[in-house]
Each structure stands twice: as C-alpha cells, then as structure tokens.
Chain A
Amino acid sequence: MSSNQVIHALYDDDDTLLSAVKSIREKKHHIEEVYTPFPVHGLDKALGLADTRISIMAFIYGCIGFSVAVLMMNYIMIEDWPQNIGGKPSFSYLENMPAFVPIMFEMTVFFAAHLMVITFYLRSRLWPFKEAENPNPLTTDDKFLVEIELLDNEKELNALLKETGAIDITTIEKKSDHE
C-alpha cells in the first residue's frame, strides 16, 4: 500500500450505505473495509466480494467425517474383534451397516459443522483474546462506516462522500498497516 492514509465515512442508514458503496465503486475508489452493526443484505454484491467457499469446505469435511466413521467402525466391529453381540451379523461391514448408520450420520455432521466453524474462525481471524479492530464503536450500535484508501485525492473524495449522504467524514493516519 502506497499510502497510510484512509478516509472514514460514517452513514446512519443501510440503504444510504448501499447506494454510497455503489457510487464510490463507480468512481473507481478502492474500498478497504465496511463496518456495519448487522448484516446488510446485498452489501457483498455491491462491494463485488467473491463468493464464500465455506460450503465446499463443509462438504469436504463431511466426507472426511463419514470416512472416519466407516474406517473406525469397520476396524473395531468387523476386523479387530468381530464378536457376536446379540446376533448382529459382524461378518462384513455391509451386513451390519444399518446399525452403524446413526454414527456415520452424526460423525458426518459433527466434522462438517465443527471444522467449518473452525475454518471460519481461522479465515476471519477470530479468537478469544483477539484485540478488537473496530475503528469506531458506533458501528457496533447503529452506524455504518466505509473505509477508503486515500491517494492524494482527499478533496474529490470528500465531495463525493458528502454527496452520498455521509454524516461524518474523517481522515485517519494509520499507524501500522496490517498486512
């Protein structure tokens, strides 16, 4: 990043925010980040963010969980010690499969759900002692904040943001650019 300066535009309405994001992007300004107190429907599309791939990961994790369940029960119940327990046919995995289905199902769901959540935490850098990255506490309550990269175009950008309905515009010197 060539500049350490960013501009913070505060909005008080999600519809205004959406149209502002659209016009800022039309003018080819780079939006670094948008902070909102709640999910704004359509914001990701307006920002042109790529689709999440977390559901694909969940599918893969589910497949892993399914395999773990099958391999585990096949080893324990069929290969290692095929006891006769209440007349259940432990001759092959397939013959005794209905009894294993509840575990196969639960393991699939367990792996898919938990690993997906952990993936989410890792990708969005969330953990218990993480320092909050919130530039303005108002954005957790009822205000919306757009952070735009500043490249010697402060005046032009200020005018544009005023036009889009920003209620407060501040220029911020970033101390250390994360990443």
Chain B
Amino acid sequence: MYTFTNKLRNFSIILMVVGFLGLVYGFITSPDTVAEAQAMVADAHHGEGHGTGHDGAATHDAHGETAHGEQHEADAAHGEDHGEDHHGEHLLHQLQNKPWAALYVAAFFFMMVALGTLAFYAINRAAQAGWSPALFRVMEGITGYLLPGALIVFVILALSGMHYNHLFIWMDPEVVAHDKLIQGKVGFLNVPGFLFRALIYIGGWTTYRYFSRKFSLAQDRANDISNHKKNFRISAGFLVFYIVTESMMSWDWVMSIDPHWFSTLFGWYVFASMFVSGITTIALITIYLKSKGYLEKVNDSHIHDLGKFMFGISIFWTYLWFSQFMLIWYSNIPEEVTYFITRIEDYNVPFFGMLVMNFIFPLLILMNSDYKRLNYFIVMAGIVILLGHYMDVFNMIMPSAVGDQWFIGVPEIGGFLFFFGLFIFVVFKEISKAPLHAAGDPLMGESERFHY
C-alpha cells in the first residue's frame, strides 16, 4: 500500500496555489477595452509581466507588429465585421483569450494524459498483455484524474458556450451570421449539441474507467477469474467506443477552434499525442514509485518495454504530424494551408521546436536498448516528451485563440503548474487507495517474471 506523503501533498498544493495565482494574474491583466489592448501592444514591455527577459518581449512585439497586418488579412475571411475599429477589436479578443487559452491548453493536456493512459490500459487488458499487470495499479491511479480533468474541460467548454470567452468563434452568433462557411456547419457546431456530445464522451470514458477499476480490485479478492474476463470484455468494447469518441472529441474540442479548417487524420494525430503522453506518464510515475520502494515486482524490463512504447509512439506521432503537414504543404490549397502558414510565421520556434522535442530527441535517446533500462534516461526523455506534447496542444489551440499575441508567460506557466499540481494530487491520492500489486490478476505471475 502506498501512502500519500505529506511532502508530495504539500508540493502539489504549492503548485496549485502558484498556478492559480498565475491564472488569476492572467485574467486580471487581460484588457477590457480596445484602447487598453492597443496600449498593451504599443508598450514595448507589454506591461503584462513577462517574467523573463525584456529583450525577448521586445523582439516578439516587433515581430507581432509587422506580421499582424498580413495575419489580419488572412483573418478577414473570418468575416468578423465588428464595425470601424476592426483591427483593435480583433486584438482585444486575442488578448482577452490569452488567459482562457492558457487555462484550456493546460486543462486539455492533463486530461489527455489521463485519457491516453486509459486507452493504453484498455489495450493491455484487451490484448491480454503478459508484461503489464504489474503496472495496472499505476495506470488506474493515473486514469483517476480523468473524471475531474474532463469535468474541468467540460466546464471551460460550457463557459465558452455561455460567451465568457472567444475561444470558439463559431459560438458567437454575430460571427456565424456573417460567415457562410460556419453557417453550413451549424448542424454539427452548435452549443447544445457540442455540450451534449461532450457529456457522452466523458460519460462513456469514466463509466468504463469506473467498472474496470472495480473489477480490477474485485479480482484481488476473487477465487475465480470472472472479474478478469469481465474486464477483458468491457475493455474491448471500450476501445471501440473510445476510437470513435476520441476522434469526435478532437474535432469538437480542438479542431473546431479553427472552424474553417479541417483535416481527416486529425483524430489520429491527437490520439498519438495523448497515447505517447500517457505512456510516458506511466513510465515516470512507475520510476518514481519504484525509487520509493513500492513496486518491488517491477523490474527494468518493464521500464524497457515502456521505453520502447515511448520511442515507437513518438515516431508514430511524428509520422502523423508529417503526413498531415506534408499533404497540406504539398498541395498548398489556400483554405487548408493557412493553418500551417499562421503556425510557421507566428509560431516558428514552438512549431518546429516541438518536432525536435517529440521526435529527434526521443529518436536519438531511446534508440539504444541499454539506455531504455536506465531510469534517468527514461526520466530525461519523458520530461522532454511531455513538455513537447504540451507544446503540441499549445500549437493546436493558441494560433486560433490568440494569434500572434502568444507568449509563454505567467498565465501559461500558471495554467500548467495548476493542473500539474492537481494531477499529482489526484493521481497519488488514487494510487494510495489500493494495493499497488494487483495480486489476483491471472497474468500477474507472468508479469512478475517478465524479462526481456
């Protein structure tokens, strides 16, 4: 039995408090009027507390000023006919979106980690994997975050639906009234349907999670393997449900932030991102618990297997990223390619930097079989992969939410820290609720002796 140490609890609470303050600061400093927004951008120091070097902020401003003209031209298609001060209005919305987007990116990222872990868990259950039962309780602990995490995302989506922010422009009736393209999508993109679908996704995922956890715990005390069989069946069923809802979730929660753009493999792409983040988190938490002496049945072959998955799925993610990018770049159809043009022009460093973090770094670090058995290599690669996939979500959400006004400043870091703290708190609380060794699992013997 793992006990949630006070040290870790306090650490997570500090993270939450610091992150919360960062978010509050972000909301307080976001402008209320067009004049305020213009003053903020005109001010070379941005006036919104970029904690880091002012040099960086200044160059960013200069860049923002020059690029904004073209960016605005491109956005003219959005048909936001807000009156005479078109430019100022647009800027105001971008700046007002900043703390919301920071909140949403972090909330979505950590929810995605839990959901990716749940998918990995279900695959191991359905595939009757012999190596992983020693890690089931760790995975169940991580998926404990799914319900709170997904509900927070749902609340943010509901608040967007109630017009507290401009994250999803199709939710703005004024925008839709002037936009033929969005009008054509109203059958799918409407707030009641959107929230209803979200509830179905969250309901389905957490129901599976609830029963799977229940059967898993019941199996520990059982004399037969009926619980294991039930778990096998619901896992197989869940995977069918999951792949449909995950794909739809990615259209709803991520792609609809750019309602003029669509991509067919987007669902897979988001899936690969969440899958590799989930596996990486399993590896990191396993190594942490093992270092504290809680997982005596886990050996370096388990870590090696997780390392292989991190390596393989990182490359799978890159494959999908490149397939999406290259097809659009190659054909260069204007209505599709704006998606990447805004990213390459305004988000050059995060856009290509994430490729280094999510592909080149894991490729070179995790290729060697011996390195995958070394905890510090897995931890190092894992941290880079997780930050890389945070940047991935950042790159998916930010360009349409805040445009060239992005910065990784107080609200963004605050959002990340808040959800990081919440994640640690919920996950380790959940891990402490059940024995870490799933003693009754029929495949446990194989997993204990697992050796590669």
Contacts and interface: CB of A to CB of B under 8 A. Distances in A.
Interface of A: 55, 59, 87, 98-99, 101
A98 B367 contact: no
A101 B326 contact: yes
A118 B326 CA distance: 34
A164 B322 CA distance: 57
Consensus secondary structure, chain B interface? helix
Given A55-B369, A98-B326, A98-B329, 9 more contacts: A59-B367, A87-B332, A98-B322, A98-B325, A98-B330, A99-B326, A99-B330, A101-B322, A101-B326
5 contacts: A98-B322, A99-B326, A99-B330, A101-B322, A101-B326
Interface in B364-405: 367, 369
A43 to B, nearest CB: 15
B358 to A, nearest CB: 16
A147 B351 CA distance: 60
Contacts of A59: 367
A101 B367 CA distance: 20
Interface in B291-341: 322, 325-326, 329-330, 332
Contacts of B322: 98, 101
Interface string B9-48: 0000000000000000000000000000000000000000
A101 B369 CA distance: 26
Interface of B: 322, 325-326, 329-330, 332, 367, 369
B39 to A, nearest CB: 38
A55 B368 CA distance: 9
Contacts of B369: 55
B317 to A, nearest CB: 15
Contacts of A98: 322, 325-326, 329-330
The 8 A-B residue pairs with the shortest CB-CB distance, nearest first, are A98-B326, A98-B329, A99-B330, A101-B322, A101-B326, A98-B330, A98-B325, A59-B367
A87 B329 CA distance: 12
Contacts of B329: 98
A87 B337 CA distance: 15
Contacts of B367: 59
A99 B330 CA distance: 7
B256 to A, nearest CB: 26
B451 to A, nearest CB: 10
A110 B326 CA distance: 22
A98 B325 CA distance: 8
B348 to A, nearest CB: 13
A37 to B, nearest CB: 24
A61 to B, nearest CB: 14
A99 B325 CA distance: 11
Contacts of B330: 98-99
A87 B325 CA distance: 17
A22 to B, nearest CB: 17
Nearest to B369: A55
A59 B325 CA distance: 27
The winner among A55, A59, A98, A101 for most chain B CB atoms within 10 A is A98
B329 to A, nearest CB: 5
Nearest to B328: A98
Nearest to A102: B326
B219 to A, nearest CB: 30
A7 to B, nearest CB: 33
Contacts of A99: 326, 330
A129 to B, nearest CB: 35
A99 B326 CA distance: 7
A51 to B, nearest CB: 10
Contacts of B326: 98-99, 101
Nearest to A56: B368
A106 to B, nearest CB: 13
Nearest to B370: A51
Nearest to B367: A59
Contacts of A101: 322, 326
B359 to A, nearest CB: 12
A28 to B, nearest CB: 28
A101 B327 CA distance: 12
A14 to B, nearest CB: 17
A119 B322 CA distance: 32
A59 B326 CA distance: 26
A168 B364 CA distance: 50
